[in-house]
A = this chain, B = another copy of it.
Amino acid sequence: MTPDEIDDIEQRHRDKMQRIKAAVDARIAAATEDTGVLLVLTGPGKGKSSSGFGMVARTLGHGMKAGVVQFIKGATPTGEEQFFRRFPDEVEYHVCGEGFTWNTQNRARDIERAQAGWEQARALLRRDDVGLVLLDELNIVLAHGYLDTATVLADVMARPLMQHVVITGRGAPAELVELAHTVSDIKVTKHAFKQGIRAQRGLEF
């Protein structure tokens, strides 16, 4: 390419980027509200819980506190639990599950654990000093009917104005999707597990 041709490419790039910037700036100007966001991460794909834990990390990076309640999981120690338990002054961490429902095979016990978990969650949802609450795999518990969805949603909606809540798990109930500000539905394009690769430390747990 000649110098003139390169200049032309550069100029067209700047023009295009200026048009995009104007559109983005207009949207940002229209989005002015600060509020505690209710975020739902659902769908069958990989990345729901890990995304919630990334937001816990971000929250701590901004000098805010976070709360975590892990429903369902809990039979084996996870990397996320081992890591975030390093910061007891910054993260209040509860594990209320005893493993997946098909492993426990005891419905009454699962319900009892879910209800104990919800007591921990409710306490976090009343704290002004907790910037973000992660309710990991709560959707699974709701789908099984182990907690009353209306009670859960009432507690979530009564939280402090600026508190963010992140709820993960497949099969988010319609009432929760309705109330949420942001809902991501994670689809599986492909998954290592189906290629004979088992769950890997660091990635899956």
Where the two chains meet, the residues of A that have a C-beta atom closer than 8 Å to any C-beta of B are 9-10, 13-14, 17-18, 20-21, 24, 27-28, 30-35, 37, 39-43, 45-62, 64, 66, 78-84, 100-108, 131-132, 164, 166, 177, 180-193, 195-203, 205
For A84, give the chain B residue with the smallest CB separation. B57
Q: Do B62 and A105 have beta carbons less than 8 Å apart? A: no
Contacting pair B48 A192 (CB below 8 A): no
Contact between B187 and A182, CB atoms less than 8 A apart: no
Instruction: State the copy count for this chain.
Output: 2
A62 partner residues in chain B, CB cutoff 8 A:
79, 82, 201-202
**In the complex, which residues of chain B have a beta carbon less than 8 angstroms from the beta carbon of A10?**
106-108
> Contacts A50-B54, A54-B52, A105-B21 known; A200 to B37 CB distance under 8 Å?
yes
Q: Residue of B at shortest CB range from A28?
A: B198
Chain B residue with the shortest CB-CB distance to A39: B203
How far is B14's CA from A105's CA once the two chains are assembled, in angstroms?
5
CB atoms of B192 and A182 under 8 A apart: yes
Cα-based distance from A119 to B57 in the complex (angstroms) = 26
Chain B residues with CB under 8 Å of A180's CB are 190
Chain B residue with minimal CB distance to A30?
A: B196
Closest approach, in angstroms, between the C-beta of A176 and any C-beta of chain B? Answer: 11
Quick check: A186 and B183 within 8 Å, CB to CB? no
Complexed CA–CA distance, A181 and B191 (Å): 6
Q: What is the CA–CA distance of A50 and B134 in the complex, to the nearest angstrom?
A: 13
Write 7 A-B pairs (CB below 8 A) sorted by A numbering: A21-B105, A30-B196, A31-B199, A33-B196, A37-B200, A58-B205, A181-B195
B9 touches A107 (CB 8 A): yes
Set of chain B residues within 8 Å of A49, measured between Cβ atoms: 54
B39–A46 touching, CB < 8 Å: yes
